[in-house]
């Protein structure tokens, strides 16, 4: 994780970096720091806590200077305190460095440097890299670019780094491997960010650094780009499509709430130009080009983590039902370490909102090394995972800033629905009438989501009743089982309530023992193929005095008579229920978390992009 921001130009660097760090806080928020060169010396300010703590701390200090680097951290090596916060200075205080990633061989490097007299202040791997660069510069009398380049050749691991020096306020050095880094190119100024969000309000022209590249951004000589093997590269400048409004809260109290309410539009955006209702046709050009290979494969393997993994399980139901393609869904973190049986005939679908998740990326690399074809479903355009795949479909949900994933999930499920329909049709395994009906149903989903969102105040009143219950069960069957998993994850991660998602029928094999009058049980009980069975499961909960909060199809009478509360959602095709049933759970967790005074957008211990194993 961690967010990096840097600036060099004719403006004051500190406020630009500070604002950028606030934008990147979703990546990590346990400490923050900024180093600026005021023309004669480097001033370095670091503070444990959120960026606002750093802002307060630096208020009366000298923050002048037109070049600087900043960092917001999610701790890996070392506790989240002031000392371990970035930037890290060299031993002679002439250089400062920020880093996102992990230097795996830091212990060996540190031992060697200590033998040569280097003294370390922090417990971080980053400080080791800073000293290594300093060591090379002093031994070889080379400049910062060369010293950094050589140091990176000794490093094993992942990094996005930015380095500045006291003696040369006219340049910044940036490099990356496996962690993202974007350079914004302005007129006589450069910006750097872990993603484009800190850059977008200044320039739309950006360069996404590739792995193994190192750049010098100089106010005198412009931009130099090389590989760390010293091969010259030509920078490829592209134009950002992101809009600044998507990065603001837009009147909502939290990004999470804004993102929940954006879903009618984000689902619509995801379908735009793909669901061609009048032509009765689905267009997913990138993926269709690989169709023959996909149809020839024995199975599809979906890899993902967290919420994206839940979307993957919904995808399994969709692909098997609509396209009759066998699917296996794997946690990327498990897949990568179990020597999976996979070869060049296999197709892997990797799902990731951020496009940066280290486990998913490593699983992709493993599958690629065995010759598999990789399809990506990513939200962040140009992200590492998006670029590591052979083909794919963006979810187009727009920036998701709340750490708990909401609109990205429904967009992922939408893409998986489109893929399933496309394959089902092209394979000839879905009846034409069913295909057409599903196309119409899918097209109606945004307005049905709008309708579900109208229950917000009612869902808030349910949250008020159950906000203090220490545990919760979420139950669903079939394609709604992963919705139950997702509901439980949402509640856990933002309100710190212990929650478990279970297939409703499995309850009797264990979790039923947990049920008493204190236990809220959230059940998806919509009128679909397993409706009667789920009604029986609800009866089992009620017989043990559990409290049932059921999501039902509009107009349902049966469940209304037995459940403590029902939340109605509009009728849709069974295969599309997850797109609606997930919304009440998002709202419920949101309200519970707010009532419990939890930090909804930045829950404790979490970060949006998990770029470590």
Q: For residue 48, which phi and psi values (nearest 5 degrees)?
A: -70, 150
Which residue from 67, 162, 199, 305 is in contact with ligand F6R, where contact means CB under 6 A? 305
Q: Is residue 589 a contact point for ligand F6R (CB under 6 A)?
A: no
Q: In what order do the strands lie in the sheet with 182-185?
A: 42-48, 31-37, 67-73, 3-8, 190-193, 182-185, 205-208, 238-239
What is the C-alpha to C-alpha distance for residues 73 and 87, in angstroms, rounded to an integer?
Answer: 10
Among the listed residues 22, 177, 448, 608, the single catalytic one is 608
- Cis ω for the linkage preceding 87 (within 30 of 0): yes
For ligand F6R, the binding residues in 83-112 under the rule CB under 6 A are none
Residue 377 and residue 393 in contact, taking contact as beta carbons nearer than 8 Å: yes
Which residue from 65, 68, 184, 306 is in contact with ligand F6R, where contact means CB under 6 A? 306
- Nearest residue (CB) to ligand F6R, 588 versus 610: 610
Say whether 2 is catalytic: yes
Q: CB count, 10 Å around CB of 94?
A: 18
| Total site size for ligand F6R, rule CB under 6 A | 15
Residue 196 and residue 214 in contact, taking contact as beta carbons nearer than 8 Å: no
Q: Is residue 610 a contact point for ligand F6R (CB under 6 A)?
A: yes
Chain centroid, CA 1 distance in Å: 10
For residues 391 to 410, the per-residue mask of contacts with ligand F6R, x marking binding by CB under 6 A and - elsewhere, is -------------xx-----
Which residue from 352, 395, 480, 527 is in contact with ligand F6R, where contact means CB under 6 A? 352
Query: Residue 189 to residues 6, 40, 144: CA-CA distances in angstroms?
Result: 11, 20, 19
- Nearest residue (CB) to ligand F6R, 63 versus 194: 194
- Nearest residue (CB) to ligand F6R, 515 versus 587: 587
- Nearest residue (CB) to ligand F6R, 169 versus 398: 398
Stretch that binds ligand F6R, among 165-173, 269-277, 346-354, 417-425 (CB under 6 A): 346-354
- Nearest residue (CB) to ligand F6R, 67 versus 397: 397
User: Would you tell me the crossing angle of helices 407-427 and 306-318 to the nearest 10 degrees?
Assistant: 30
Say whether 305 is catalytic: no
For residues 355 to 374, the per-residue mask of contacts with ligand F6R, x marking binding by CB under 6 A and - elsewhere, is --x--x--------------
What is the C-alpha to C-alpha distance for residues 569 and 451, in angstroms, rounded to an integer?
Answer: 8
Q: Is residue 353 a contact point for ligand F6R (CB under 6 A)?
A: yes
- Nearest residue (CB) to ligand F6R, 33 versus 355: 355
Q: Is residue 307 a contact point for ligand F6R (CB under 6 A)?
A: yes
Residue 271 and residue 443 in contact, taking contact as beta carbons nearer than 8 Å: yes
From the CB of 324, what's the least distance to ligand F6R, in Å? 27
From the CB of 27, what's the least distance to ligand F6R, in Å? 11
- Nearest residue (CB) to ligand F6R, 124 versus 405: 405
Q: Is residue 130 a contact point for ligand F6R (CB under 6 A)?
A: no
Tokens in use for 154? 């000794």
Stretch that binds ligand F6R, among 31-39, 301-309, 427-435, 574-582 (CB under 6 A): 301-309
Which residue from 125, 127, 262, 493 is in contact with ligand F6R, where contact means CB under 6 A? 493
What is the C-alpha to C-alpha distance for residues 317 and 261, in angstroms, rounded to an integer?
Answer: 26
Q: Which residue is nearest to ligand F6R (CB)?
A: 306
Residue 502 and residue 473 in contact, taking contact as beta carbons nearer than 8 Å: yes
- Identify the three-state secondary structure at position 574: helix
- Nearest residue (CB) to ligand F6R, 132 versus 491: 491
Q: For residue 510, which phi and psi values (nearest 5 degrees)?
A: 165, -65
Helix (H) or strand (E) holding 171: strand 171-177
Query: Residue 257 to residues 231, 253, 260, 328, 485: CA-CA distances in angstroms?
Result: 47, 7, 5, 33, 20
From the CB of 28, what's the least distance to ligand F6R, in Å? 13
For ligand F6R, the binding residues in 451-490 under the rule CB under 6 A are 489
From the CB of 241, what's the least distance to ligand F6R, in Å? 20
What is the C-alpha to C-alpha distance for residues 292 and 171, in angstroms, rounded to an integer?
Answer: 50
Q: Which residues bind ligand F6R (CB under 6 A)?
A: 305-308, 352-354, 357, 360, 404-405, 489, 493, 609-610
Which residues are known catalytic residues? 2, 608
């Amino acid at each position: 994780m961690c967010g990096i921001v840097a600036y060099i130009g004719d403006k004051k660097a500190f406020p630009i970096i500070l604002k950028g760090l606030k934008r990147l806080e979703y990546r990590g928020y346990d400490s923050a720091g900024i180093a600026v060169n005021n023309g004669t010396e480097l001033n370095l300010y670091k503070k444990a806590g959120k960026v606002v703590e750093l802002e307060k701390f630096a208020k009366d200090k000298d923050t002048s200077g037109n070049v600087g680097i900043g960092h917001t951290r999610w701790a890996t090596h070392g506790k989240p305190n002031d000392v371990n916060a970035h930037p890290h200075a060299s031993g002679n205080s002439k250089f400062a460095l920020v880093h996102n990633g992990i230097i795996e061989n830091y212990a060996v490097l540190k031992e060697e440097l200590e033998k040569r007299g280097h003294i370390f202040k922090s417990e971080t791997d980053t400080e080791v890299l800073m000293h290594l660069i300093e060591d090379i510069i002093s031994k070889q009398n080379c400049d910062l670019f060369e010293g950094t380049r050589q140091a990176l050749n000794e490093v094993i691991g992942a990094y996005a780094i930015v380095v500045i020096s006291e003696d040369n306020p006219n340049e910044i050095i940036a490099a990356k491997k496996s962690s993202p880094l974007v350079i914004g190119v302005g007129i006589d100024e450069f910006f750097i960010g872990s993603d484009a969000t800190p850059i977008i309000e200044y320039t739309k022209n950006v360069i996404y650094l590739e792995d193994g590249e190192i750049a010098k951004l100089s106010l005198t000589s412009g931009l130099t780009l090389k590989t760390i093997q010293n091969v010259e590269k030509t920078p490829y400048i592209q134009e950002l499509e992101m809009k600044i409004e998507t990065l603001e809260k837009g009147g909502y109290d939290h990004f999470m709430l804004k993102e929940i309410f954006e879903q009618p539009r984000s689902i619509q955006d995801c379908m735009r130009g793909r669901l061609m209702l009048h032509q009765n046709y689905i267009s997913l050009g990138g993926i269709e080009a690989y169709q023959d290979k996909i149809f020839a494969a024995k199975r599809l393997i979906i890899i993902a983590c967290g919420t994206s993994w839940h979307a993957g399980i919904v995808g399994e139901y969709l692909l098997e039902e609509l396209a009759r393609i066998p699917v296996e869904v794997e946690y990327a973190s498990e897949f990568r370490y179990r020597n999976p049986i996979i070869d060049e005939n296999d197709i892997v679908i990797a799902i990731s909102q951020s496009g940066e998740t280290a486990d998913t990326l490593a699983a992709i690399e493993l599958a690629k090394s065995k010759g598999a074809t990789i399809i990506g479903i990513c939200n962040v355009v140009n992200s590492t995972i998006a670029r590591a795949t052979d083909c794919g479909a963006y979810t187009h949900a727009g920036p998701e800033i709340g750490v708990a994933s909401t609109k990205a999930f429904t967009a992922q499920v939408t893409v998986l629905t489109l893929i399933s329909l496309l394959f089902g049709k092209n394979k000839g395994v879905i009846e034409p009438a069913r295909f057409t009906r599903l196309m119409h149903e899918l097209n109606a989903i945004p307005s049905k989501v709008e309708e579900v969102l109208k229950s917000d105040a009612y869902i808030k009143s349910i949250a008020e009743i159950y906000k203090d219950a220490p545990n919760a069960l979420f139950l669903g069957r079939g394609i709604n089982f992963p919705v139950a998993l997702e509901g439980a994850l949402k509640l856990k991660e933002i309100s710190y309530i212990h929650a478990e998602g279970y297939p409703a029928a499995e309850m009797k094999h264990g979790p039923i023992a947990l049920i008493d009058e204190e236990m809220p049980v959230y059940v998806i009980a919509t009128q679909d193929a397993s409706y009667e069975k789920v009604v029986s499961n609800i009866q089992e909960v009620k017989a043990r005095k559990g409290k049932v909060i059921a999501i039902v199809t509009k107009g349902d009478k049966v469940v209304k008579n037995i459940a403590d509360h029902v939340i109605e959602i509009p009728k849709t095709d069974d295969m599309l229920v997850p797109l609606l049933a997930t919304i009440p759970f998002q709202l419920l967790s949101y309200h519970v978390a707010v009532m419990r005074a939890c930090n909804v957008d930045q829950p404790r211990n979490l970060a949006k992009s998990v770029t470590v194993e």
